Structure 1
Amino acid sequence: MYSAPARILSVGTSLPQNRYTQKEILELFHVENPIVRRIFQASHIEGRHLYLPEPDENGVPNESQSQLLSKHRKGAMELGRAAVEKALDRSGLKASEIDMLCCISSSGFMLPGLTAMFVRHFGFRTDCHRMDLLGMGCNAGLNGLNPVTAWARANPGKTAMMVCCEINSALYVFDNKVGTGVVNSLFGDGCAAVVIRAQVQDSPLLLPEILFFSSHLIPETWRAMSYHWSEEHGKFYFNLDRDVPYVLGAHADQPIAKLLAPFGLQIRDVSHWIVHSGGKKVLDALKYTLGITAHDIRHTVSLLRDCGNLGSGSFLFAYERLLKEGKVKAGDYGVMMTMGPGSTIETALLKW
């Protein structure tokens, strides 16, 4: 056993200033395909915060791959700073007091990575331990939280921070295809930061302990969510298979069972579900397989409605909404769950 459990001290999130309703996006870029318009206007997403360009002379977005990489870097710096500052303020810390920094992103590529940029500009120490996690997709937040938690346990009293930055508007193509429309209707931009430390519960706040992680990979569906290079558009694009929600839903009970079993728990013992906002069909499939209700995932549902799919940091946005609700009690168990490429399901067990 560890001398002190790893706990979540605080979380901070940020979004671009500009928010667009789905209808506004359709009108801004003159989308005429009736099927795509119906997808955009589905009731489960009302609007998204995005870094959108002005339409070109043909009334469509037209950004080169170079411009998109620049957008990702600038957006991650802007939103990253805001999320980091919020998380630090809520934990009463300064950037110079962070001993380990992990940054996660799948919506752009940088070398050096975001951790080096954040150290340079945000006041983190130059001897801060760093880790950049790239290209794992929407599940990556829990893939990162696992080693960050292990680092905190191995270094009790020292403080780690994980930052998920996704500028999804920096990864797109624009055409009249239905598949393209599905992807372009779903994702939003956002950044989330979380502070972790191994310590005893000596705070008047309820700080959840991170107990355990469980992963599940479905390798036969490895292409279901994947990046590709488009020769036609001269940029990368994201492919999303239509069967993804059902594949993820059908396997969700397996990592959950492995997560809960070591503690003698069952699904009915879980008070709080903190789930990635992957889309309505994904959430419906999870509800069916796990036997949980819309109320159980209300924070994820409202996040999807307000912001769309925010990628790797979306579960931290949902966690923040749970905390703001103010209904967590000592002794409660919570499950974090993210899903993404691979196809992958990641889970973590919390106890307040």
Structure 2
Amino acid sequence: MTVDFAPPERLLGEVPGAELHNTRLTAYGRTSVHPRIVGVGSAVTPTSYTQREVLDACGISDPKVRSVFLNSAIERRNLTLPPADADGLRAPESQGDLLDKHKTLALEMGAEALRACLKRAGRELSDLRHLCCVTSTGFLTPGLSALLIRELGIDRHCSRSDIVGMGCNAGLNALNVVAGWATAHPGELAVVLCAEACSAAYAMDSTMRTAVVNSLFGDGAAAVALVADRAPVLGGPDAPRGPSVLKFASCIIPEAVDAMRYDWDRSLERFSFFLDPQIPYVVGAHAELVVDRLLAGTGLRRSDIRHWLVHSGGKKVIDAVVVNLGLTRHDVRHTVGVLRDHGNVSSGSFLFSYERLDVEAVTRPGEYGVLMTMGPGSTIETALVRW
């Protein structure tokens, strides 16, 4: 989806501190409505663990495996581990038990994140007209959207969609689709809800393959609300708090299609997640390509982007993106903070970062931001937003 860039003279007006970079905008396309973010909310499961506590719960003593956990830049994660036995260790769960866990946690976290998002937006469940649910940690039919509509008493006529199995990048894939829905239904409220019960994708063993995954992911859900309306003059009395969603750009790396995958492990008789150790460098090498494509035709340069909300994919992933895009540690402070406090919460990670930026209240009218997610495919998704 592509949305107009309004002429600079209409955008800038007399807004104090409006940045010079706006004068380089070029208008293209024609649309009278602009999807914008009006609220965000998040939720996690009740129990959190330090990395050392997870190692002890899994009975892991191998120094190499322990170093993966302890050098992850993660302090705590929310997880729902199986009950401890008499020795304090956690036994592996069957695939059926894990699917049950996914359903329970996704519903609980999803409902909490949805309510928090609507509260932030000043809306009610009765205002909801489209609900898009995203998850990769389990499979449900009917999907999570239908279960939430029943659970929360949402209007049965609410339009809905489910995006399943796309992985950590899927939040932006969903935002792209729902931004289009919102544009086609001006004034109507749409929500993207990412609910990832990563505890339901946990393999309780001490192998290095498993350690890379088990050291990283945490349970979390995040929701973002969109409404499309006519964009007001920046700084005017009707100016919204949230940014307009202007443009998306994607990049899939076919030669790395197997580098991140969640597939059936015949030896364990359950689904298992795999991460190639080289994936941070593959993602980093392509980050510049997709961001330049995102900014093409806008008159903007990377240096004009004031806010970067990058997926908390892991320390090496973040470092690779920072180096390849020439970002500062301040640019990714929220990305790093989410990783530290929650680990990688998959598709909703970038919304956890957006929520922190929203609470920080440092954005100004006319400023631009880039949202970036990465995941299986291997894929990089980006969006350009403007406050």
Higher mean C-alpha deviation, range 58-67 or range 240-249: 58-67
Bigger Rg over Cα: 2
Higher mean C-alpha deviation, range 231-240 or range 133-142: 231-240
Picking from 58, 62, 74, the partner of 2:92 is: 62
After TM superposition, list the pairs within 5 Å mapping 1:303-342 onto structure 2: 303-342=338-377
Picking from 34, 43, 62, the partner of 2:63 is: 34
Tell me which residue corresponds to 2:287.
252
Question: Do the aligned partners of 2:72 and 2:314 also contact (CA within 8 Å) in 1?
Answer: no
> 1:153-190 deviations in whole A, cap 9, x for unaligned?
11111111110000011012222211111110000000
After TM superposition, list the pairs within 5 Å mapping 1:335-350 onto structure 2: 335-350=370-385
Q: Structure 2 CA distance, aligned partners of 1:203 and 1:171?
A: 45
Question: Do the aligned partners of 1:252 and 1:290 also contact (CA within 8 Å) in 2?
Answer: yes
Corresponding letter in the other structure for 1:138: C
TM norm structure 1: 0.98
Q: Structure 2 CA distance, aligned partners of 1:134 and 1:57?
A: 37
Q: Post-superposition shift, 1:97? A: 1.1
Relative distance call for 1:233 and 1:203 in structure 2 (3 A) is: farther
Question: Do the aligned partners of 2:58 and 2:206 also contact (CA within 8 Å) in 1?
Answer: no
Tell me which residue corresponds to 2:8.
none
Tell me which residue corresponds to 2:220.
190
Question: Do the aligned partners of 1:230 and 1:237 also contact (CA within 8 Å) in 2?
Answer: yes
After TM superposition, list the pairs within 5 Å mapping 1:66-145 onto structure 2: 66-145=96-175
Question: Do the aligned partners of 2:137 and 2:196 also contact (CA within 8 Å) in 1?
Answer: yes
TM norm structure 2: 0.89
Q: Structure 2 CA distance, aligned partners of 1:231 and 1:261?
A: 45
What stretches of structure 1 move > 3 A for 4+ residues in a row? 200-205
Q: Structure 1 CA distance, aligned partners of 2:113 and 2:72?
A: 28
Q: Structure 2 CA distance, aligned partners of 1:194 and 1:175?
A: 35
Question: Do the aligned partners of 2:75 and 2:341 also contact (CA within 8 Å) in 1?
Answer: yes
Tell me which residue corresponds to 2:23.
none
Q: Post-superposition shift, 1:203? A: 4.5
Corresponding letter in the other structure for 2:112: A
Q: Structure 1 CA distance, aligned partners of 2:209 and 2:329?
A: 27
Percent identical among aligned pairs is: 49
Tell me which residue corresponds to 2:327.
292
Q: Structure 2 CA distance, aligned partners of 1:43 and 1:166?
A: 20
Superposition RMSD in Å: 1.2
Q: Aligned to 2:324, what secondary structure does the other structure show?
A: helix
Q: Structure 2 CA distance, aligned partners of 1:76 and 1:115?
A: 10
Corresponding letter in the other structure for 2:286: H
Query: Mind listing any 5+ residue stretches in structure 1 that lack a counterpart?
Result: none
Q: Structure 2 CA distance, aligned partners of 1:37 and 1:148?
A: 41
Give aligned pairs, total: 352
Q: Structure 2 CA distance, aligned partners of 1:334 and 1:195?
A: 17
> 1:208-227 deviations in whole A, cap 9, x for unaligned?
00000000000011000011
